[in-house]
Structures are given as C-alpha cells and as structure tokens.
Amino acid sequence: MDTKDWTDSPWFVPFADLDTAATNSLDTPPLTGVKYDDEKPRMHLLPPKATIEVAKVLTFGAQKYDEENWRKLENLQDRYTSGALRHIFAHMDGEKLDPESGISHLAHALCCLLFKLEIELEE
C-alpha cells in the first residue's frame, strides 16, 4: 500500500519551529492552485435569501402536486406568463404574501419565469 509520510505535508511544523510558526498564518494555504473557471457563471452572485424563497415555492408546489408537475401543463408559456403577472399584480396591490402558501408573491412570480426560461432553453 502506498502511504505518504505526514511529515512531507506543507502543514507539518516540527516542534522546534512552533514559536516561529505561531507568528505565521497557518489558516491560509499557499496560493499555488489553478482553476480555469473565468468563463463559467459566477454562481456566488445569486442572491441567497431570494433563492431560498424561490426554493420554498418549489417545495410547496412539489408537495401540492409533484416535483415535475410544472412541466406537464399544456400551453405552459402562456399559463406561466399569466401566473407570474397575477403574482406581480398582487404584489403591486400591496399583498406581499400569497395567501395559500404564505410565501412571497415575488418568489412565486420568479418560479413562473424560471419555468418559462427553462422550457425555452430546452427547446
């Protein structure tokens, strides 16, 4: 079996060097890695709180219908446009939360728009 001696680790500090090591930052590894992801989407830019609210709407829908029910509708582009607009108009009228789910109307509208976009991208 191939085993590596733990003293070969860049994090190994002999006891005699602990005083010196204590003054250095051992929390940050040396920056020697390479990752070619400059052209990839920067997923960390998604707003986390809003994304969680959207996930709550998706969970509500999955429990009420099923996880893939949204794909099974006829004329779904028009139906989800209508649904998104109903939620947006309700929000514009001052109603923040959908009365059935208790979740933000805007999160519901975003789900409708995400469904429309997903189907459009798949076509």
Domain residue limits at 71: 45-122
Residue pLDDT, tens place only, 60-99? 999 999 999 999 999 999 999 999 999 999 999 999 999 9
For residue 80, tell me if it sits in a domain.
yes
For residue 38, tell me if it sits in a domain.
no
For residue 83, tell me if it sits in a domain.
yes
For residue 9, tell me if it sits in a domain.
no
For residue 93, tell me if it sits in a domain.
yes
Per-state percent for the chain, helix, strand, coil, to nearest 5: 60, 0, 40
**Total domains in the fold of the chain:** 1
For residue 102, tell me if it sits in a domain.
yes
Number of DSSP helices (H) and strands (E) in the chain, helices first: 4, 0
pTM score, whole prediction: 0.71
Please state the φ and ψ torsions of residue 97, each to the nearest 5 degrees. Answer: -110, 140
For residue 89, tell me if it sits in a domain.
yes
pLDDT level of residue 11 (50, 70, 90 thresholds): low
